[in-house]
Amino acid sequence: MEVELSISAKKKTRSVSQRGVKTAEEIAEILRSQMPELSRRYKVASIGIFGSYLRGEADEESDIDLLVDLEDGDEPLTLLEFIALENHLSDLLGAKVDLVEKSALKPAIGRRILEEVQMV
């Protein structure tokens, strides 16, 4: 009987914690509303969601996987600016962001990401 209670308690905890996880649609809405600032401040040309949030498999421990395409320009973002962008996005979305630059994708994983990503 104790085992059944533990299992029930775990299921309830899991479903309660999932209510706090944003959906891909909510994330996309936030990103869309912030695109003018992201473009001006960080040279973001486009941004998209992939991974567990897009597939609806995210939980409170999941990070948000974002693919970013930066504007071509004379001065690319420095590493510190890229980290600042990643931190800014984490603050906006209320969860850790794993930011991947489109031009830095490796062929094997890049193909999978490009097939899955939903641009906003």
Q: What is the pLDDT of residues 6-29, one digit of tens each?
A: 333 333 323 323 457 899 999 999
Domain range for 74 is 22-119
| Domain presence at residue 10 | no
CATH number at residue 83: 3.30.460.10
**Are the C-beta atoms of 28 and 8 separated by less than 8 Å?**
no
| CB-based burial label for 107 (10 Å; 0-12, 13-18, 19+) | exposed
Q: Which residues are catalytic?
A: 63, 65
**How far apart, in whole angstroms, are the C-alpha atoms of residue 36 and residue 71?**
13
H or E element that contains 50: strand 44-50
Q: Specify the number of domains making up the chain.
A: 1
> Do the strands 44-50 and 118-119 form a parallel or antiparallel pair, or are they unpaired?
antiparallel
Predicted confidence band at 91 (pLDDT cuts at 50, 70, 90)? very high
Tokens (6 digits) for 109: 């994983």
